[in-house]
Chain A
């Protein structure tokens, strides 16, 4: 039995300890904003926060999550930074297929919390998520827009 918090709610999980956090979120908790892309930590569509650190949830297993605090995009609905980011994503019309958007927004949230006004190099280094549709130029613009809108 592993005890953790997901989006502020205490959860007790009885599942195989090698179960990745991604599948705990998707199949046990029905939190489907976090996507499955590669299962190997390459693409970032499964990005979430664990103890305020950005992680790729397909590579984090339940065994390492006892007492952890997990936050997914669903848990950030009223977060002020995330609100600015989603507004910027809409203003710049970033997504195409949109499958990478939740992970990109999580990665951007982590970046802007740490570096409220990132330059292009800081954006390059922080946003390593893959977007097959090629929305990258708009991702960059939207990050600058969100940063500029921050108080």
Chain B
């Protein structure tokens, strides 16, 4: 049976190695892009003259580019101007650049969804601008932000598969290597790929839904 041969212990371990790289890249990018996205989103919300506009323009440019192009760019183009990452950090950098732009947009929209009276009320009770932001606005905006942030995280996990083009040894890349050696393994490998990605992403969306109903 080819199915049983395809899922030999060696192949499963190779796939799991790939899965580990996928998860590592995804987690690092999530942490970095969340921090950067939050800062950029806040800076845009604060409407600092000129500065916020410039950040807004850069964010708009980045989020309107295909992620694949950014991956190519960080790995193939940046070395030309002397910035060199290895494959792993190229993938993390590309995902972080793209996702932090997406997240900053979500965070800004979330903050904008809080009525402006809240800010005025906070300020008039004697809280400073930053205190009002932190204690009054962000907690309220958080509720509106959770669903889009989760779907962004899910697409980040799916997008790590694109890094296979720069030969990052992640899940998709390793599955391709296995079926490249034996074409009868093609269907089992596609089943495995769909299985792993689906389990992670579906579980994440379900957990988020439960969390949402708890918040509401």
Bound together: no
Instruction: List residues of A whose CB falls within 8 A of some B CB.
Output: none
Q: State the B residues within 8 Å of A (CB).
A: none
